[in-house]
Structure 1
Amino acid sequence: MVTIYTTPNCPRCKMLKEWLRSKGVDFEEKNLDDSEVMADLIVRNIYILSAPALEVDGKVYGEDVLFHSETLNEEFLSKILEEKARNE
């Protein structure tokens, strides 16, 4: 399962979603402005300070590893998605 945590008007969120779509990755999008989404994360002891964040098979990755400055870290993303595919 792949989930992307976003906020409205987030350019990095849009960039990440477009990249995932271009790779044919199915994902669920959840809005961090939704109090139920945030409550669920807190119950799971997950604290996301900024969007976007990506959850792949229960592991959450923040924008600090998803991006290099304003550039998507495609190498890292490819690695975690390949790892996911191997585990399926």
Structure 2
Amino acid sequence: MPHVKIAIYTTSRCPWCRKAKNYFKQLGIPFKEYNVEKDQKAAERMVRKTGQMGVPVIEIGNQTIVGFDKAKIERLLGI
């Protein structure tokens, strides 16, 4: 599996955000979390990149996924 930078934009009460974080933890893949409730700059960056206010938003390298799309995540990670 290639080493790629992964970021997850989340909120505190989002069940799909928890699923995404747990999924990456189970795979042993490190990620950077941005809680958009607490980090206004991250929230603005997320909306600017996606045009969306929904979470999770997952960045894998230069690819952005809105929602927890496991199939797309696995395809981008090559697993």
TM-score of Structure 1 vs Structure 2, range by shorter chain: 0.7 to 0.9
Of stretches 2-11 and 74-83 in structure 1, the one that deviates more from structure 2 is 74-83
Q: CA shift at 1:40, angstroms?
A: 3.2
Q: Greater relative contact order: 1 or 2 (C-alpha under 8 angstroms, separation 6 or more)?
A: 2
Q: Please say if 1:40 is aligned against 2:45.
A: yes
Query: Structure 1 pair 41/13, CA: closer, same or farther in 2 (3 Å)?
Result: closer
Q: Please say if 1:51 is aligned against 2:47.
A: no
Asked if the contact 2:9/2:46 (under 8 Å) is kept, the reply is no
Q: CA RMSD of the aligned region, Å?
A: 1.8
TM-score using structure 2 length:
0.78
- Count residues with an aligned counterpart: 73
Amino acid at match of 1:81: L
Larger Rg: 1
How much identity, in percent, do the aligned residues show?
22
1:1-80 pair list within 5 angstroms: 1-33=5-37, 34-41=39-46, 45-46=48-49, 47-63=51-67, 66=68, 73-80=69-76
1:38-76 C-alpha deviation (Å, 9 max, x unpaired): 23345xx4133201110011221101xx3xxxxxx4332
Uncovered stretches (5+) of structure 2, i.e. residues with no partner: none
- Runs of 4+, deviation exceeding 2 Å: 38-42, 73-76
TM-score using structure 1 length:
0.71
Uncovered stretches (5+) of structure 1, i.e. residues with no partner: 67-72, 84-88
